[in-house]
Chains A and B, each alone.
Chain A
Amino acid sequence: MKHRGLLTGLLISFVLVTFTWTPLIAAEQKGTLVIALDTLGGQNLDPILETRASHAHFQAPVFDSLVGFDFEKGGIGPGVAERWELAKDGLSWTFYLRKGQRWHNGDPLTAHDVKFSLERTMSKESVASRSAALRRNVKSIEVIDDLTVRVNTKGVQVHFPASMSRAVFQEGQMMPKKYIEKVGVAEFRRKPIGSGPWKIVKSVPGDRVEYEAVDYPHWRGTPKFKRMTILLVPEESTRVAMVRTGEAAIASISPESLKEVKSAKLKVVSVPSTMQAVYYFWGTYRDDQKNNPIADKRVREALSLAIDRKQIIDHVMNGEARWPMPFATFGYSVDMDTKKWRKWSRKALRYDPARAKELLTEAGYPNGFDLKFANTALPGTPYMVQIGLAVADFWSKIGVKVKYKHYEWGAFRALRRGQEKLRGGASMYRTAGRPVAVARYMSGFHSKSLSHLFGNTKGDKNICPALCKEFNSLHKLVVAEQDDATRTKNTNRMIKLVADSWVAVPILEGMGYWAVNPKKVGAFKPIPGRHEFGDVFERMPLPGQMAWK
């Protein structure tokens, strides 16, 4: 009898909470959050049809990711899966899903959806950026039960969970199996549903995407705004004007607009560690370049010492950039001794033109030399051109005669594949902020990679000097190592190998910049390293709910 009373009480409480919670949340949600962006990519609402990062603006509000973010530190954290573990043999990852997740049509989100989503992303139809990588790395996917899914990998893939997070790529986005099978792919693309905190209302290609907040608690945060509109406004001065007039609450901006935004008494939200500006030296390992000054490590170090990074940060980036860490590493990078490397970079990347001249003299180039320098800017980072110009200017000051040439990114990328025109020279580059540095090291330095800055063993090529061999074996150790401490030790060795080579040299750590109208939205914190706000919108307070400092 006693238990029956307790059970009845619990049941009544459950019903009351369930039926009163939703109206309560809905009543508190107000207004429309308007965001003006420079790009909406292809504005495809099917996750397998977008290739670049703009999906993290407009798809992320709707689609949850298998692995999420660490909102405080940056990098990866719980997502649709609240935890994951590597099998003892290292050949499979098991993901444990949160309970009670649902799609926008009310269906529960289960392990079957996870399997379906990953298989759909791996399909031939998918143009998702790393679908080929997923096909290469995944052997099979098994549903253990409704809340557990196992991914069997081809070989040990210690960083597999990171690739399932928007902190890295979009491959982990979840799609509703039952719904897609029921309505078909065409209808899903027309009326997509996800499990995220925002539902799609309307998408007008080339203009905007409209959303409505879910009216139930969501693990990513329940939206405070009732509606949200993401506008495509390509011209930056127009975006700033829209924030000034209140037509938009938030707009993406570049460092050039920072002064105007600040003087208009708007707020600037800078997202730390979104990218690192670097430069590369191409083909230094080749026999046909052995007489090229840049084949000498002392010369490469001298060129780094000639750069006054603080000046570039203060004047090109208007103070809104940071001192860099070693190549492709950030404060939130995993498997490395962050403190040690921060200290290293302060000293090693210092401005010391006198020492630079000494090194050049030691190397036999007291009067400088001719250097080819290809400047380029990746999409979304036009200020890279100015950074490149500043670097060229600093090199000229120590006597280097820089033969500067600017390339559009697509053209530069084609040059990078063949490398003939880049060989024996330097070029600008940018690495996006990612928590796992080893993938960047692979694509930059492995002899089978696209850039292969230490050697080339692609196809019928077989040029791999000692540095190249050492890197390849270290890389192999890092990606397959299951023990955290040993992996960290080897990652530190790999970082040191690259840092000491002076082949890829960081210039500064960039930020993502946003102009915010404080009358339209309350104070919020971005996710370190994630320029896009697709995973932040739901945590943005209404104006007045959280005061701006």
Chain B
Amino acid sequence: MRRYILQRLWQGVILLALVTTIVFFLGRLTGNPVDLMLPEDATEEDRTALIETLGLDAPMYKQFGIFVVNVLQGDLGVSHRYRRPVVEIFFSRLPNTLKIVPAAMILAMIMAIPLGIVSAVRRGSMIDRVSGTIAVLGIATPNFWLGILLIYVFSVQLGWLPSARMGTPLHYVLPTITLGTFLVAGFMRLIRSSMLDILDSEFVKLARIKGLSETTVVWKHCLRNALIPVLTLWGVFMGGLVTGAIVTETVFAWPGIGRLTFEAVIFRDYPLLQAVIIMDAVLILLINLMVDILYAYIDPRIRLAE
């Protein structure tokens, strides 16, 4: 197990080095941030002065060298736009995202597990068809549209919930639903197909022959096994949500890291973009590592294979 974890960590380090290099050069291909920072009638002299102030006048290989040395010392730089250390900015926004993502995950699991199981057990029934429709709608509905629709209905028309921003527990309801809807569909379809495989397996037949009740067979024996692939998807979704809740965070004015990434891209804030992507990569690697460990722990076949 230890060797397995060390191997994954080593792969993670290589991946991070690659991500860092790609982000550094790709970011610069989009153009100079100074072009977006200065007013439209700024002179060439204004531009040159700002380029010097931001340290963008050195050749790119030199900038990269300085960047690598600084990263190795734990310094990811100062944001061009916010004029603050990028690590400080990242960690001031991360808790906001972490407040909304687990809520969406929990909502998704609460809805997806029963729906997925019932659809599998009653395959072809009305419930299965309705669940299938919900899944398709969940995947097909754009987040921004759903968010705006929810705001219109529950805030503007009914006046039940606040439109946007962080604050009271009520502020979490609409962003959580918006973010969770997409997940419900994905999880539900996966649980359904996984359950269908397991319901057909030998050990389930044996359990039934032994006279176990259908509830015990389904909820105890089948579900436990059906959740193993869900765990992998959970890791993928969790990483994706933490780093990519851009639309939901924008619609609900939620100051998380999804929106921060978006701002870094559109304003060509190189240091911030580099830091956000590196930190996101670290987060995703950690989440996936945790999932892998958990996976190995839950499924003895993986441990044995090791």
The one of A125, A132, A242, A378 in contact with B164, judged by C-beta atoms closer than 8 angstroms, is A242
Min Cβ gap B9→A in Å is 32
A241/B53 contact (C-beta < 8 A), A53-B39, A207-B255, A410-B31 known: no
Q: Which residues of A contact B163 (CB under 8 A)?
A: 238, 241-242, 245, 247
A127/B50 contact (C-beta < 8 A), A132-B45, A232-B253 known: yes
The one of A49, A51, A410 in contact with B39, judged by C-beta atoms closer than 8 angstroms, is A51
Pick the interface stretch among A39-47, A95-103, A319-327.
A39-47
Let me know if B53 and A125 touch, CB within 8 A.
yes
Let me know if B35 and A129 touch, CB within 8 A.
no
A127/B255 contact (C-beta < 8 A), A133-B45, A233-B164 known: no
Interface residue? A418 (CB, 8 A): no
What sequence of 0s and 1s flags, for each residue 128-143 of chain A, a beta carbon within 8 Å of any chain B beta carbon?
Answer: 0111110110000000
What sequence of 0s and 1s flags, for each residue 250-278 of chain A, a beta carbon within 8 Å of any chain B beta carbon?
Answer: 00000000000000000000000000000
Interface residue? A440 (CB, 8 A): yes
Interface residue? A530 (CB, 8 A): no
Interface residue? B42 (CB, 8 A): yes
CA distance A245 to B148 in the complex (A): 14
Interface residue? A432 (CB, 8 A): yes
CA distance A234 to B262 in the complex (A): 11
Let me know if B46 and A414 touch, CB within 8 A.
no
What sequence of 0s and 1s flags, for each residue 128-147 of chain B, a beta carbon within 8 Å of any chain A beta carbon?
Answer: 00000000000000001000
CA distance A36 to B53 in the complex (A): 32
What sequence of 0s and 1s flags, for each residue 242-260 of chain B, a beta carbon within 8 Å of any chain A beta carbon?
Answer: 0000000011110100011
Q: Select the residue from B41, B48, B92 with max chain A CB neighbours within 10 A.
A: B41
Interface residue? B89 (CB, 8 A): yes
Min Cβ gap A255→B in Å is 19
Interface residue? B156 (CB, 8 A): yes
Let me know if A244 and B259 touch, CB within 8 A.
no
Q: How many residues of A contact B (CB 8 A)?
A: 56
Let me know if A207 and B166 touch, CB within 8 A.
yes
Interface residue? B87 (CB, 8 A): no
Let me know if A410 and B251 touch, CB within 8 A.
no
The one of B35, B54, B148, B250 in contact with A127, judged by C-beta atoms closer than 8 angstroms, is B54
Q: Which residues of B contact A135 (CB under 8 A)?
A: 49
Let me know if B255 and A232 touch, CB within 8 A.
yes
Interface residue? A235 (CB, 8 A): yes
CA distance A134 to B296 in the complex (A): 65
A-B contact pairs, 29 of them (CB 8 A): A36-B253, A41-B81, A42-B82, A51-B39, A124-B53, A127-B37, A127-B50, A127-B54, A133-B43, A205-B89, A206-B93, A207-B166, A233-B253, A235-B148, A235-B250, A237-B148, A238-B164, A241-B163, A244-B156, A245-B162, A410-B30, A410-B32, A410-B268, A413-B35, A414-B31, A429-B40, A431-B41, A440-B41, A458-B44
Q: Give the B-binding residues of A (Cβ under 8 A).
A: 36, 41-44, 46, 49, 51-53, 124-127, 129-133, 135-136, 169, 204-207, 231-235, 237-238, 241-242, 244-245, 247, 378-379, 409-411, 413-414, 417, 429-432, 439-440, 443, 449-450, 458
